[in-house]
């Protein structure tokens, strides 16, 4: 079980989903964690940029913040989303839950049991499975 500190660092660093994540009963990377990471990083970048611009007394270079947002927020989030989408695609192909109508791709969970599913954990053990 990860601490809140570790979870926050995962989100902040956009840690890529590892094999360990693929087999974990609680996925680390979800659409929610990516959105949360974007908000957290964008806030930090904008606050840091505000202080830097304030210290050099120049608002003429505000557009430089767009570069930092691209480099530290948008691009890492895009890469993380690509990785997440690929993992979900594999998960859908390889697992029983992936082919079930009750599977929630965004949260990697079951809508009926309200639990995360994994390659090794099927909450209903196949009894509630229905085709898409």
Q: How far is the CB of 22 from ligand SF4 (least distance, A)?
A: 16
Residue placing its CB nearer to ligand SF4 in the complex, 38 or 122: 122
Residue placing its CB nearer to ligand SF4 in the complex, 29 or 110: 110
d(C-alpha 129, C-alpha 132), whole Å: 9
Q: How far is the CB of 25 from ligand SF4 (least distance, A)?
A: 12
Q: How far is the CB of 125 from ligand SF4 (least distance, A)?
A: 8
Judge residue 100's burial from the number of C-beta atoms within 10 Å of its C-beta, 0-12 exposed, 13-18 middle, 19 or more buried: buried
Residue placing its CB nearer to ligand SF4 in the complex, 14 or 103: 103
DSSP state, 8?
H
Strands of the sheet with 103-104, listed across from one edge: 103-104, 109-110, 115-116
Residue placing its CB nearer to ligand SF4 in the complex, 38 or 97: 97
77 Cβ neighbours under 8 A, 6+ residues apart: 14, 34, 37, 38, 41
Q: How far is the CB of 114 from ligand SF4 (least distance, A)?
A: 9
Residues that bind ligand SF4 (CB under 6 A): 96-97, 100, 102-103, 110, 112-113, 117, 122-124, 128-129
Q: Are the C-beta atoms of 52 and 106 separated by less than 8 Å?
A: no
């Amino acid at each position: 079980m990860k601490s809140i500190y570790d979870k926050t660092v995962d989100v902040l660093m956009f840690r890529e989903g590892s094999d360990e994540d693929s087999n974990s009963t609680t996925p680390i990377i979800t659409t929610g964690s990516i959105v949360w990471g974007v908000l957290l990083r964008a806030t930090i970048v904008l606050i840091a940029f505000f202080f830097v611009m304030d210290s050099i007394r120049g608002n003429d270079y505000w557009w430089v913040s767009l570069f930092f947002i691209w480099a530290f927020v948008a691009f890492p989030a895009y890469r993380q989303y690509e990785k997440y989408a690929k993992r979900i695609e594999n998960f859908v192909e390889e697992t029983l839950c992936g082919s079930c109508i009750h599977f929630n791709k965004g949260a990697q969970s079951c809508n009926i049991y309200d639990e995360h599913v994994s390659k090794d954990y099927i909450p209903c053990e196949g009894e509630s499975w229905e085709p898409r």
